[in-house]
Amino acid sequence: MKKIILISLLITSCSVQKNLNDYKHDPKVAKVVYGNDDRTDLFDVTDVELKILAKSTVAFIDQRHLIYDSIFDIYNLENAEPTLPFCKTEKFVNQPRWADCSGSLIAEDIVLTAGHCVSKSEDCKNMKIVFDYALDEKNKHLNSITGKNVYSCQKILAFKNEKNGSDFSVIQLDRPATDRTPLKFSDKPLDYKDALMIIGHPEGFPTKFTMNGKVRSLIPETYFTATLDAFSGNSGSAVFDQTSKKIVGVLVRGERDYDKKNGCLTAKLCDETGINNCRGEDVTRISEFLKYLK
């Protein structure tokens, strides 16, 4: 039987900059890897269609970490907070971790994310929405973002954050993103074990693809559960039907647990299906936010 790696991160605030003590029995801690760790860097993806999808996904980064240089029209990534003490064996452990949440472009100037990522005007004011937050080669350090790829949140158009229900936020950008294509919504009903994928920023890392997830339960009316490799920072990631490449929901909540070993955070083992002691990841259904969109 395959094993899975589980590591807990705080989802409700989507913060990736927390102390180890913040993870003790916190009911809001979430995210997990099911089966093999299927997270893949953008530079390792050769499928052109997937690369196009990635260009329409975003990272939410606290504006305190983006320092504008008007001469070169770039935002330098600075003022990093202390990072979590992950064990050196964890995947991507040496990559930069700037993103707090993920999201997706669904119209020229409209972005969809999780409700707990952008829930009030203060969040809207303090977050920057960043396209192309990704590594384009294995050993590259991501120190700055091109100015044209950094947007502000103009206002929240629709919002809901229920503890065990819908969790989404639809926000308007300060200007249209005309150099990329808005993502499409699926009109196909989901079935048990349908293949799923996500594109986002697990643990705040640059763009990662996660393939081969599965629909696990369709019982809740406002969300469904799935076996998706996801971590804090993935909150707000669009969940795609892996076949059609269309959005079926938004990742919002998930598994909670971790092991502390020699002062660092490491993996907990569960079975591949998650039936024993892994609850699955919650995905807000598209029907929940489509009713607010025209």
Q: What is the pLDDT of residues 91-108, one digit of tens each?
A: 888 889 999 999 999 999
pLDDT for position 256: 58
- Res 21 pLDDT > 90: no
50's tokens: 């997937």
Spatial distance between the Cα atoms of 58 and 121, rounded to a whole number of angstroms: 19
C-beta neighbour count of 34 within 10 angstroms: 29
pLDDT for position 127: 97
Average pLDDT over residues 171-185: 97
Average pLDDT over residues 239-256: 92
Spatial distance between the Cα atoms of 47 and 69, rounded to a whole number of angstroms: 34
**C-alpha dist (Å) from residue 256 to 5, 30, 34, 97:** 12, 4, 13, 21
Residue 281 DSSP SS3: strand
Top-confidence residue, 286 or 255: 286
Asked if 134 and 55 count as a contact pair (C-beta separation under 8 A), the reply is: no
Q: How confident is the model at residue 188 (pLDDT cuts 50, 70, 90)?
A: very high
30-34, 165-169, 202-206: range with lowest mean pLDDT:
30-34
pLDDT for position 254: 79
pLDDT for position 262: 83
| Residue type at 217 in one-letter notation | S
Q: How confident is the model at residue 273 (pLDDT cuts 50, 70, 90)?
A: low
Most distant CA pair in the chain: distance in Å?
A: 56
- Res 87 pLDDT > 50: yes
Spatial distance between the Cα atoms of 279 and 275, rounded to a whole number of angstroms: 7
pLDDT for position 9: 33
Q: How confident is the model at residue 275 (pLDDT cuts 50, 70, 90)?
A: low
The torsion of the CA quartet 170, 239, 280, 91, rounded to 10 degrees, works out to: -110
The count of domains in the chain is 1
Asked if 10 and 22 count as a contact pair (C-beta separation under 8 A), the reply is: yes
pLDDT for position 3: 35
Asked if 226 and 274 count as a contact pair (C-beta separation under 8 A), the reply is: no
Instruction: Read off the pLDDT of residues 114-157 as tens digits, 9 standing for 90 and up.
Output: 999 999 999 999 999 999 999 988 777 899 999 999 999 999 99
Spatial distance between the Cα atoms of 16 and 86, rounded to a whole number of angstroms: 11
Top-confidence residue, 34 or 233: 233
63's tokens: 């504006």
Greatest mean pLDDT range, 20-34, 69-83, 116-130:
116-130
- Res 215 pLDDT > 60: yes
pLDDT for position 270: 59
- Res 212 pLDDT > 60: yes
Residue 42 host element (H or E): none
pLDDT for position 18: 43
Residue 272's nearest CA partner among 204, 211, 213 is: 213
Q: What is the mean pLDDT of the chain?
A: 84
Average pLDDT over residues 230-248: 94
114's tokens: 């999780």
CATH of the domain at 92: 2.40.10.120
Q: Which domain holds residue 121?
A: 1-294
Q: What's this model's pTM, rounded to 2 decimal places?
A: 0.86
